[in-house]
Each structure stands twice: as C-alpha cells, then as structure tokens.
Amino acid sequence: IPKSYFDKGRTQFHYQAANPDEEAFVVAASCLGYQLIPPRTSTTLTLDIQGEPQTVQIVGINEFNSNRKRMSIVVREHGKEGAMLYCKGADSAMLERLAPNQNEQIAKVRRHINEFAVKGLRTMVLARRRLDQSEYESFSKRYNDARSSLLQREERLEKGAEDFE
C-alpha cells in the first residue's frame, strides 16, 4: 500500500507490505517506473507505468502456500484478448516451471541465484505468461468454479493454479 508524502518539492512514497519480500518487489517496481495507484479493489487495480495509468481486471489470485512455494495473479487489460499470469516464488518451485526453450536464460538465472546465495542473500523468481483467449476462458471458468465449490475448494484451486502456472 503506497503512502505518499510531499518532500523537497516531490511526491515521495513509502510502502507498507505484508512481508519484506513484498516490500522489496514494490520498491524495485517503483524504481523501474511502476507504481500502484490507490485504491485497489478486489476486482481491479490501477498502475502508473512510467507515467501512463493502466487499469487491469483481477481475474484470479492463486495464493501462496508451503506446498507450491509460489503465488500468482491473473490480470486482464480492458479491451484486450487473453490475460497475463504473473507468478513469483522460490527458485526451486519456479525454475522447473519455465519454458524449456529458455535454457540459456535459465542457466543465467541459476548463476545469479548461486552468486546471491554465496553472499547469503535471499532470492525469489518472478515470471509471467501470456494466456491466449482460450486459455483465459478456461482459467476463468475453472477458477470461478473452484472458488464457489463447497467440496474440495482448496484442492481445486491448487490444481487449477498448478495447471496454468
């Protein structure tokens, strides 16, 4: 949650997050020109992306759990086909899920992770995947069916996340 204040002629932001990992991500995003514009609702969020506001629909959030070691969010831009899935998590859970045609990039990421580990630093991996219209419709249906299910709700949500991440 960004809290703004005015300092030295510029609007400054201080971020409050659920944990230090979340705060590190939003601070890094802010440094790259991406800022959350309050208020965020349960169904939409607006970002300032290098000076351009962009509102997206939140299609679904696959919460973190210790089995999956990752979480993801699926968002859809107004008027565009398909959706975008953003996923973050432990390198052990994320690297195995990356596209196999990215071997050179994966090797580079592994080297960076090892360098950070030697320095005692914690690492997380962030990835994204475009869902075409058909995948978006399939995800949306499965996600909404699972969320409204009275039986095996958590298992169905987890299985749906597993299939799309």
The CATH number assigned to the domain holding 98 equals 3.40.1110
Task: Indicate whether 76 and 17 sit together in one domain.
Answer: no
Q: Are residues 103 and 132 in the same domain?
A: yes
Residue-averaged pLDDT of the chain: 89
Same domain, yes or no: 152 and 113: yes
> Residue 44 half-sphere exposure, CB side, CA atoms within 13 Å?
10
Total of domains in the chain = 2
Q: In this predicted structure, what is the pLDDT of residue 108? A: 94
Residue 48 and residue 118 share a domain: yes
1 pLDDT higher than 90: no
Range of the domain at 75: 41-164
Q: What pTM was computed for the model?
A: 0.85
- Taking only the tens place, the pLDDT of each residue in 39-80 is 889 999 999 999 899 999 999 999 998 889 999 999 999 889
110 and 136 both lie in a single domain: yes
pLDDT at 17: 78
Gap between the Cα atoms of 111 and 28, Å rounded: 21
